[in-house]
Structure 1
Amino acid sequence: MWDKSKWGVSLRWLRRLLQESPVRQQIVWLDCCHSGELLDIFDEANPGQEGKAVERSVIAACRGFEVSREQLQGEHGILTATLLQGLDPHRDVDGWVSNNKLADFINQQMFGELQRPIFHNSGGAIILTDKTHGVQLQLDPKLKGTCPYKSLNYFTQEDAVFFYGRRKLTDELINRIRTENFIAVLGASGSGKSSVLRAGLLDQLKRGQKLSGSDRWQYYGPFTPGEHPLESLRELGIGGREREMGRGGEVELQNSPPASCLLPSASKNLLPSASCLLPPPASCLLPSASKNLLPSASCLLPPPASCLLPSASEQRVVLVVDQFEECFTMCQDEQERDEFFACLLAMVAQGHDKFCLVLGMRADFLGKCAEYAQLAEKIDQHLVTVKPMTSEEIEEAITKPGELVGLQVEQALVTKMIGDVVDSPGSLPLLQYTLTELWTEAQTSPNPNRLTLESYNRLGGIEKTLPKRANQVYKSLKEEEKPVAKRIFLELTQLGETSDTRRRVCKEDLINSSHSLELLERTIEQLVRAKLIVTTNESKSGNGKAGVILDIVHEALIRHWQELRQWETIKLWRIETNLGLGL
């Protein structure tokens, strides 16, 4: 007769054991006949979490009505033999095996067997085996505990160690700066312009490893024009000694040319002040109606080179202006804008190969620059376009920063994230935002040095981070801007019979009696800065005219932002109601 006390266990006892256990990660594997019964009634034995974060892996060799079989040749049951094979970390692309990976492997290997294995995995991933276990990784102690991702912020020169995926673009910029004295870096919002200027171009130039002598050049910026671009230029501290942050984190002081020689005076003359040369007639300094910004040669003699820019025996000067579109979005004084452009172009014209101006600007503002003939010509001649990152570059941006802090990223997660962002314009900040969220969550888990697909799915990936961001931005808008933002998102959504999709809209087509151009541009600018929409400049829009094209940053926003879904429902109801009324 079967002795239950000797050969069996009570499910209530198992439930109590798991409830009272202080073990956070619990593993129960059964290779015996009818073991699936445990899963069939697991709700009774499931201890729950009782307020604790518990990871659990339960594997049964067969269903409740099946028997567990042994190998025809071998010393183990079929499940045990498969478990031993699947637990080998050397056969895994990541070099480590989790309970979820093991379940997938067992399903594949035992497909077609007379018994079907049953699984129950809950909570976070449990790392079962790791080929790096016991191996001391050589990590920089200064990076310990540092998040290698930047959320929605751009990379700075201090973050250059974590900046990956833009080597090709950085090399192109360095090659351009080798032979040119003007470079315009244009790309969509969220394409990584600010990051590549700081953590790519400037970091490499200051190292002096790719361009001989560039570590001895003088650098100003990057700075953004702001509301008063001339004042922003003066605030760089050009003149005397400039504070520069060195690669090692120490503050370095560099000698600079006199400020009076490089910048317009308080009277807003467009070229160097009287300390360098006699001021030209005012009629020569101000832009004409055609916006030609530089005074003609007949107006003044060029100042001595040693006054405006370095002499032939001195090192090169590099001035970097980022977010150049602020000259149009923030500077409301057209004369100051004209003078700022004239000042930059004068330095380029008179500096020759001893001066280089680098501009970073959103591509949709190229049309604004067309109003300034000489500036537009310069941009056209020295344009570098920031193209979308390739799949290989995105993978490098995900995995390489993590390696520096001992972080392992599951290959399945890498593949999933690449697929989620590779065809979406302006998604790089969102990629970094999601990676930051994954890293933050991992720090409170038993596996703080691993990012997994399971965690990504639990967070919702971009599909959840986007709506969260959208709600924050929408609530921060002024009351008169909220209806404009609502209309913009609805216009960027194409209502469909089965699912809604993104559609592109020309900015000029959104102007009406309720929404002025000024209000529209102000709202668009905030949505672009928040990385919720992207803008591009096209020679022809839907109506055949030149214009700025708006696009939603990712269709996940359409699918999963509840606020937008409600707006769409109301819009559809109004359309249907109007049709019913014959309107």
Structure 2
Amino acid sequence: MPRPERPLDNLDDPAAQLAAGLRRLREKAGNPSYRSLAVLTNFSAATLAAAASGRKLPTLPVTCAYVRACGGDVAEWEGRWRELAGSRPPEPGVPVEGVSPYVGLAPFQTDDADHFFGRGLLVDDLVRRVSQRRLVVVFGPSGVGKSSLVRAGLMASMPEPAVLIVPGEHPLTDLALQLAVLARIPAGALLDDLAGDPSHAELVARQAMLAESGELLLVVDQFENVFSASVPDAERAAFIGALVSLCREGSGTRVVLAVRADHYSRFVEFPDLLAAMQDGQLLVGAMSPAELREAVVRPADRVGLRVEGALVSAIVAEVAGRPGALPLASHALLEAWRRRRGTTVTLGGYQAAGGVDGAVAATAEGIYRDLDDEQRLALRRLLLRMIDLDDLAGVRGRRVPRSQINAADLVDRLVDARLLTTDHGSVELAHESLIRAWPRLRRWVDEDRATLRAHRHLADSAVVWEELGYDQDTLYRGSRLALTRRWTASPSWRSALSPLERRFVDESVRHEAAETRRRDRRRSVRRWASTVLAGLLPLATVAGAASMVDPLVCEREAVGLADVRTGLLVAAEDGYQGLDAGLLRARTRPDTYGTWEQFQRCRLPRLPDNFLLRGFAAHRRFVSARPRQAEDTVLRLSQASKGPYEWLRAVPVADGQVALYSIGRSRYLSIRREGPSRYTGMLQASATSTGDAGRFRFTALP
């Protein structure tokens, strides 16, 4: 016969109240022995007996297992346990009294250095490397703590002035803004200077440090953003060139890059950067169990709190060997602190928050549940706007200007819950681990992956349209516009567009409708003219000898101009929307069929050696010489149906090669090789002989 249980003393204690309820439930189930309950629960008999002893509050899993084995209502008892444990979750976003020693998903900042523990040895190693080398690159997987290491560790430990940059879509602009503040010079002028010669960054940094003692520490966090497809190739190269110049001996600057390890291979594309980082690499791995204990316990000690030993053991067990779980653990500790009992951060509060794998989802779901249907839809669109598709890592977070966000109240609520962060007028995910940890958000991304890409392209195109003074040539048309109209027809996606994006789509629709009406009118005029000319054909035959103007004869085949030195087609790059859109340029990379500008060769019947090139695919424009500035005449794609065409003569050179000769300007066409790489391949009529001229051959398009 089982031994009777000890009477409960203080029924005012939450542990005793829960124990009394568990005992009554066991009596209703027929007073089974704890050994028989242990078989049903997979918990030991001693653990189950301790749960009903009243000495301390059992954990939530033990309580639920006890109730399930006795045939009780698990959901009801879970609510009772949370109430007695004082761990009922506070409303998400509602401030809790006191200063949290944990930062949640967001990385530790320089001001959080007093609460940053567990990386002491690594910080010392990084400081030593930075003092010995001009460039140090910190590699590590997502969520391992790189940002916290360089911010709360390195920057807080170095006595020198430190500047932090998180590159966005225009990294050179971000660098120019920071250096301009230090050097007290206009940022716009500095940006133009760096775009022309990135090596001038070294001179600006030296100028900025003339009045300072020591050297400048430049930290570039999330350096992998530079490799994003949204960053123009020329700006990426200029930004990296500026960083390399800042790493030179005597520059007075030391540079630290923090980058995700899965982007390591991208460094081989920049030989100068690769050479500068030799022997200057630091790999950040997972914390050891001792480091994890320090990271959990020491921050609480600093603010007068105590962490239960069972909670420390649970954190170590769940996080050890998982380098990407640190942000999740930090958020779980933050939620456990919000549910603390007095001055103790308890295992019960940690489990009630959902633990490492469930705390983020529990916080996000708590906010989601409190929203109505319209607000839930706004939340989905808001978070998807802050997610970018990454070819290497699948998805990643991206910063979004507040001006592009319509749900300010929702943003504030997510910021208070530490799921989003704000900085310099922009908003972003506190950490990209939110995407992995919240199943609902992960499902949204999977469902809207194609639309995410289309929305991102639309956002970039709308910004370019605005920057170029609402140039109509940058508007959507054709199949891209048709696709955009389909996915923006949904009221939910339509509401997710920023005002600028909606204006861009509406203006594209109006512009295409106007072009369609103009084409219809031209077809009507041509049909009418054909009817009239058919009646006048006998008269035209008689008067033909007196005609001074002959119609153009255009051959039907599609051809491209191939530069024989590079083997690249000379064509207008599809999708480029800059001020010089339409320039004939040699492509710098191979591409698929459809992006090349296709041409017809049009000849004059009386002068068979003279011709012009007429684009007939997407642009339907003539190649003409149209001056942009004095003495700056280049071949351009003109919308004019008649005008100062560039009449060319193909002069045979050798082996099927030709040099194009401009009849109007008495010059051969050449390829201008100097200047920014974006304009390399511009055709100019500047050569005086075939030896200096660019050589081409007519090549069928792929």
- Structure with bigger gyration radius: 2
Q: TM-score, normalised by structure 1?
A: 0.50
> Which one scores higher on RCO, CA 8 angstroms, separation ≥ 6?
1
Higher helix fraction (1 or 2): 2
Q: TM-score, normalised by structure 2?
A: 0.42
